[in-house]
Structure 1
Amino acid sequence: MTSIFSAEGKNVACTVIEVTPNVVTQVKSEDTDGYNALQIGAGEAKEKNTSNQLIGHFSKANTTPKRKVVELRDATFDKALGDTISIDEVFAVGDKVSAVGITKGKGFQGVVKRHNFRGVGDKTHGQHNRLRAPGSIGAASYPAKVFKGMKMAGRMGGKRIKIANLEVVKLFPEQNLLVIKGAVPGHKGAYLVIEK
């Protein structure tokens, strides 16, 4: 992430995303597949780490093996197999976009970090080790169980989420860079799907 100054002089937090030219690796149609979609590939993968089936799939589009393949349903692009989609064809400054990605994995976390519980709050009345504990989680002999979906400790992060209504602040087509206002999910170097 970085920050830039707006026209009003405000410091705006932004994320710089590298959007390499995407290659159309398959065109799906209603006749052959039952629905319309474009399959696009991004990032370079080593041929030795790619299966023979995928090498044949990518060779039909006259391209090298791709690391990430995404399918765009009902895409409005008029593209053929093997065509590239560049950044300035899709985005413009001021567009509202959504970022879809896998969030950072945090591992097994307690309720204070995972669900923003307050904890007990004070150390009086003999509570020496209850500051970050969840407290009571259920009733007595009825219903005699813990309900599913209770906010408890568990694995946090590592989920696919979408952040909507992010604004495109700047475009650098020659460097394949897209500057978006705000934060996007995932770690540095993670793959994202930027939807318009």
Structure 2
Amino acid sequence: MNENFGLIGKKLGNTQIFNEDGSVTGVTAIEVGPCTVLAKRTADKHGYTAIQLGFGEKRDKVVTKPEAGYFKKLGIEKTPRVVREFRVTTETADKYEVGQVLGAADLFEEGQKVDITGVSKGRGFAGVIKRHNMHGAGTVGHGTHESKRGGGSIGMNMTPGRVFKGVKMPGRYGGKRNTVMSVKVAKILPEDGLLLVAGSVPGSKNSVVTVRKGVKNRVRAQA
């Protein structure tokens, strides 16, 4: 099984760090954890093996009765803001206990490649030039008027007599779940609970992200 265990975090923003040779690396700061192990799923009882993690705290006034009852049963005083399940092997599940608190240094190390999942910034309704990087017809002429930023033809006439699925058109841009893969961990600050990763990460400031061990590197290691 190619497990995808990781931790939940919050994107704080972008900054820079200096390397030993004096060069500068642009990084994204992620507050990873503390994540509490809420529950464990077993193949015998649930049909699969997984670890359930909680991150952050919810305000009492927005906690629903079912949520309050569920976490009270688990012995958790404060309702987590975010709850995620990670499919893992039985060997990995046995390493962690319910109630254990995990941080960035418990799962990751500097130089490691990780996969980061988040919801990209929502940019509202956008045209084809902004949304799909089309050129439009405004700069090339061809007698175009009134539609210089349009997408042009979207299909044929009588045959097939319809528009094929997947044609790139204007629409909602962003606000979708994206994953950036094989991102290098530039630095870990355990005392601050921060993970500094090279490059950009999907989402706006203070948005929730999930950090997992890089799947491509795990596949290469198994080969």
- TM-score, normalised relative to structure 1: 0.93
Does residue 1:65 correspond to 2:63, yes or no? no
SS of 1:171's partner is strand
Q: Is the contact made by 2:128 and 2:151 (CA closer than 8 Å) also made in structure 1?
A: yes
Between stretches 128-137 and 117-126, larger displacement belongs to 117-126
Task: Give the counterpart of 2:44 among 31, 40, 56.
Answer: 31
Aligned to 2:117: 100
Question: Does the C-alpha gap of structure 1 residues 83 and 61 become closer, same or farther in structure 2, counting only changes over 3 Å?
Answer: farther
Between stretches 115-124 and 14-23, larger displacement belongs to 115-124
Question: Does the C-alpha gap of structure 1 residues 31 and 9 become closer, same or farther in structure 2, counting only changes over 3 Å?
Answer: same
Question: Does the C-alpha gap of structure 1 residues 121 and 61 become closer, same or farther in structure 2, counting only changes over 3 Å?
Answer: same
Aligned to 2:63: 50
Q: How does 1:39-188 map to 2 (within 5 A)?
A: 39-59=52-72, 60-74=74-88, 76-77=92-93, 78-122=95-139, 124=141, 127-188=144-205
Q: Distance in 1 between matches of 2:141 and 2:102?
A: 63
Q: Provide structure 1 residue ranges, at least 5 long, that are not aligned to the other structure.
A: none
Q: Is the contact made by 1:26 and 1:81 (CA closer than 8 Å) also made in structure 2?
A: yes
SS of 1:48's partner is helix
Q: Residue by residue, what CA displacement relative to the aligned partner does 1:135-169 show, whole Å, maximum 9, x if unpaired? A: 11111221111111101111111111110010111
Q: Distance in 1 between matches of 2:34 and 2:24?
A: 30
CA shift for structure 1 position 34: 0.7
Q: Is the contact made by 1:63 and 1:82 (CA closer than 8 Å) also made in structure 2?
A: no
CA shift for structure 1 position 20: 2.5
CA shift for structure 1 position 64: 1.2
SS of 1:66's partner is coil
Task: Give the counterpart of 1:8 among 21, 45, 55.
Answer: 21
Aligned to 2:211: 194
CA shift for structure 1 position 128: 4.1
Question: Does the C-alpha gap of structure 1 residues 125 and 95 become closer, same or farther in structure 2, counting only changes over 3 Å?
Answer: closer
Of all paired residues, the percent bearing the same amino acid is 39
Kindly indicate whether structure 1 or structure 2 has the higher relative contact order, using CA contacts under 8 Å at least 6 residues apart: 2
Q: Provide structure 2 residue ranges, at least 5 long, that are not aligned to the other structure.
A: 1-13, 214-223
Between stretches 47-56 and 11-20, larger displacement belongs to 47-56
Q: Is the contact made by 2:50 and 2:86 (CA closer than 8 Å) also made in structure 1?
A: yes
Q: Distance in 2 between matches of 1:80 and 1:135?
A: 58
Aligned to 2:3: none
SS of 1:15's partner is strand
CA shift for structure 1 position 126: 5.2
Aligned to 2:218: none
Between stretches 125-134 and 25-34, larger displacement belongs to 125-134
Regions of 4+ moved over 6 Å: none
Between stretches 17-26 and 118-127, larger displacement belongs to 118-127
Q: Distance in 2 between matches of 1:16 and 1:92?
A: 15
Q: Distance in 1 between matches of 2:60 and 2:192?
A: 26
Between stretches 101-110 and 73-82, larger displacement belongs to 73-82
